[in-house]
Structure 1
């Protein structure tokens, strides 16, 4: 995790548990850095205007102003576990890291009695089906979609032929068999194409801004991915 990502994650961690404090030692262990690094990061956030203050005492630590924290959530334990299971299934999709962050916030924002009961119930709920692993290139593609940048990829079709493509990304599609697909405009083919993510050997986000492609424009292609067409690139 680079420093920019860590600074953002620190704020989210403190936001999730506010108004409770988190010590520098706990934060250091959470992000696998030194206590000194955490102290420098907190100082940088404070200087940039983030309302973090130090709470003294044996159980003290760093606290984010409660006005930036989540209000108490009145979920029942069963409702919280249902949401947790749904978020847990996101381990194999483009929003996996955001789902984990949302789950931490949900549990942290529940009142203590319901929180404890939800955790107890969650310990008795197990996912039997192992999700398909999400391809390594997914993070690059996710960022390209977010920033609306042209992607440069290497794609292997079902015959084993590898081609280099420039793609204007549009949407992610979850298809049959646990596979995920990137739908976008392929400049090599000069047409809309669907790329199965586990066949993308390399992905690079370029600096070029991609034209905006509304998802509706690719509506006729999406059912093909959902049905698991074996070669759409």
Structure 2
């Protein structure tokens, strides 16, 4: 095995082990401890995050921020990743700290000159745009950490009832219209809630709070579905949609699986919802304006009329 190949394989083995001794690696690779020591020194000099542990039971350990071995990308793949990362710049905040900006810099810096010219020609001409919203990057990072570790988070949340302190267990994060949303189990309300991240002014992982073990199977696509069935009073939300209305709701996590598309491109939304949630779901339809017509229930139709009356009287 040539040295470059050995160093890459060594990086992969170290990433898997996290802690190790020179003798362990020497035995695994069939090399002398001196050769392994030199290899480790070279990896350290190029920034691979390992450090030595002195004393009894010592050896080497890998810092929490691991470095992945080199990955070969085609030029088209590199350009695709570049623009995927670049699209995040239009969010007011992202839960990845400076990692996305660092990754995009590395991709661009090491591309050949002709590939850079391709990207430069596409700048500001191919854009994945989102409205700019202001929110706390620290809170987003805390929520992301809790999702990865199935932890509970203590938050200060601003709603129509004012600011309340809550313990929540996040299920996931998703972005829509520039906002970040966090579906989570709320221990204060003892049910599932959807939290808008820009309304969270404080977030801290609460390791002392016992987490729920039954949330692992839920995702941002189905987090509310089992909970909706707990309401005894149910009704059918029926909405006629224009072609544009269909396009608007096809990507909506609430409605996409409940739309029947007709041959002419128009569609009908039919969804079983709790009576207690009529206003909530009607508010989600409201932004479509004339691209949607609520057929039922009558309570939803009346709620829309009341909203229109309030607007026209202003």
TM score, norm. by length of structure 2 = 0.44
Q: Secondary structure at the match of 2:172?
A: strand
| Structure 1 unmatched ranges of 5 or more | 1-10, 12-38, 51-63
Partner of 1:99: 100
Map 1:151-162 onto structure 2 (within 5 A): 151-159=153-161, 161-162=162-163
The superposition leaves residues 168-213 of structure 1 with CA deviations (integer Å, 9 ceiling, x where unpaired) of 111113234x222211111111100111112212111011463341
CA distance in 1 between counterparts of 2:105 and 2:119 reads 12
Q: Give yes or no for the alignment of 1:218 onto 2:220.
A: no
Aligned CA distance change for structure 1 residues 121 and 83 (closer, same or farther; 3 Å): farther
Post-superposition offset of 1:142? 1.5
Q: How many residues align?
A: 174
Q: Give yes or no for the alignment of 1:148 onto 2:150.
A: yes
Post-superposition offset of 1:126? 8.0
Partner of 1:165: 166
* Larger Rg belongs to: 2
Post-superposition offset of 1:73? 2.4
Aligned CA distance change for structure 1 residues 41 and 190 (closer, same or farther; 3 Å): farther
User: Comparing both chains, which one has the higher relative contact order based on Cα–Cα distances under 8 Å and sequence gaps of 6 or more?
Assistant: 1
Map 1:93-132 onto structure 2 (within 5 A): 93-95=94-96, 97-108=98-109, 110=111, 112-123=112-123, 125=125, 131-132=132-133
Equivalent pair of 1:172/1:181 in contact (CA under 8 Å): yes
CA distance in 1 between counterparts of 2:210 and 2:285 reads 30
CA distance in 1 between counterparts of 2:210 and 2:87 reads 33
TM score, norm. by length of structure 1 = 0.56
Q: Give yes or no for the alignment of 1:45 onto 2:47.
A: no
Q: Give yes or no for the alignment of 1:181 onto 2:186.
A: no
Partner of 1:61: none
Aligned CA distance change for structure 1 residues 101 and 195 (closer, same or farther; 3 Å): same
CA distance in 1 between counterparts of 2:87 and 2:110 reads 18
RMSD of the TM alignment (CA)?
4.1
Aligned CA distance change for structure 1 residues 165 and 156 (closer, same or farther; 3 Å): same
